[in-house]
Structure 1
Amino acid sequence: MMKPDWRWVAPRLASLYHRGLLVPFIGAGLSRPACPGWGGLITRLEAAAATGAGTGEDPLSLIRRANKTVLALRHRGQGALEKAVREALTTTPVTIPESATCLADIWWPLVITTNYDNLYPSSVSSRWKIRPLVLGRSPMHCFQVGRVLREPLAPALWAIQGYLDTPCDEHFDFQNQLASELVVGHEEYRRVTHREPHFRRAFAEIYRNRSLLFVGSGLQDQYLLDLFSEIREFYGPNGHLHFAFAPEGELDVDFLLREFQVAVVEYSVPSNNPTDHSNRHRHLRELKHAIDVAPSPSRWDYQVARPSRDSVACFSVEH
């Protein structure tokens, strides 16, 4: 299969955006370096749990280390895991990453996140002078996610793995409730997706009826791929392509396109500086430009001629 070219992808993303079909899905990469990535978070939690530093940075080793550490912290009593994760995310001074700023420069009615931090909603609040609604996995919040897809509401952030209002000082709604929904580790992810059918239904509606744009999300979490596979088994192939920005060589591009209809746009990362994702920032800025210059209907109306056998509805579009 041919790798998707950015010149082919950009106008399609802009078209999806203007049709209200594009939904960003952000992961830990969007919050780095202000917050640690998955491996760094596990290392900090191991220090907090005093379980000893684990070995191995491959996905399976990180899963084992996370499960062991989370179990130890939960055995310490209520609030121990939340406290450890909050401290692991806290940085001084707080500098919002450029990726979060670039994404927030575009008005998004809904963004899905696996992050626990408030860097992106703080970027939205600063850019648009409006406080985004932060939603979780409860039945009420999943219902509100459905409303966001159909009604012009305040911008919403759907935190599907819990949410901690840190490290930025600005505070958003539902932070206490969403802290109780915190899940860390593969086993907890798996239990949550099987235990909460209302969450699976809400996620399936978005996956089937919108195009997801993965930014800073490695698409390497097996529980997410399992969730995508379950949706495909029940509902069949997706009606829209999904898209992802990823460093060259990080993902199996052919597999994701063939099995999950995810078109991966790869960007180069300097070999001497693997933390430099400036090309991802460039793609986000180019996406904003493509959205700004793309033709879009500003109003649709119609006029019906006087009743007669030959009357024809006349439609007009204003640009």
Structure 2
Amino acid sequence: MVSQTSAKFEESLKERPKKRPDKNRKLSWLLLAPVLAFFALLNVLPTLWMLGLSFYDYTLTSYKAPTFTGLTNYSDFVKNEQLSASVSRTFIFLILAVIAQTLLGILIGVFFWKNDKMPGRRLALTLFFTPMVVTPIATALFWKLMLDPTFGVVNYMLTSLGFSRTDFLTSSTLAFPTLIVVDTWMWTPFMALMTLAALGSVPKAELEAAAIDRLPIWRQITSVIWPHAKFILMLGILLRSIDAFKTMDLTYIMTNGGPGDTTELIALSLYRFAFKSFKLGYSSAVSVFLLFIAIALTAIYLYILNAKKKAEQTE
């Protein structure tokens, strides 16, 4: 009798977990439904509307009704030399800025990682990460004042050292590099933070074993540190690439795309077409192009995440 009762009890325990996940799943979907509906309303529907609008000739200030033009907006976008130059300029900005931020971020991250018992380390980290948390508009205004040729601090220091005053933001040769420097100043702390997180994921036991075996520094980096740190660093680079590709506020505040169009990036060009010329059909086609670039970068991001999970499972 006792054995039969215990057997029934064990069977009931086996059956219960099978029913609970179904209830939990239904409850989860029920709780997520309002959020998903809100997301669809604010993201999915506007995206579909933008995609459809990209096939029409539609100017908001025109009295003419939207007319279907097929792929005309896309062909005009490809043929537009100014926009093609803007896209090329954006990729150059992305590559140079992300490379500079990554290299400086790694150096600074390694410095703070090696000197984890340095006096005032927390205060130094707090001050160092400040540019990252300041809004880009505030950063742009701050640097625009700093670089002012008349009363800017940078030019005051240059004249004190015997150099002539330089208008960095109106120079056709210096404006674009200046934007890269400002963007690097703002986002190098992010890459340093990602470097600290990546180095923190390296097991101390492996580092101690490498030190005991007296492995050369390059062997420690390639065999011990890099296998653990590479995923977080690559994710940081991808996140910065996505963000750098859509940079607009920095160029708009500091140079407004000038002098000429030497600092005009694709996001600023899109703003001009959409909110200055009100060419909604054409600007939608440009937005679709940007959307596919973002999707491609996001796909790489997800691939790295999945690769990290698989690597952790094999370990």
Q: Please report the TM-score for the alignment, with normalisation by the length of structure 1.
A: 0.25
Structure in which a larger fraction of residues adopt helix: 2
Larger RCO, structure (CA 8 Å, separation 6 or more): 2
Structure in which a larger fraction of residues adopt strand: 1
Larger radius of gyration: 2
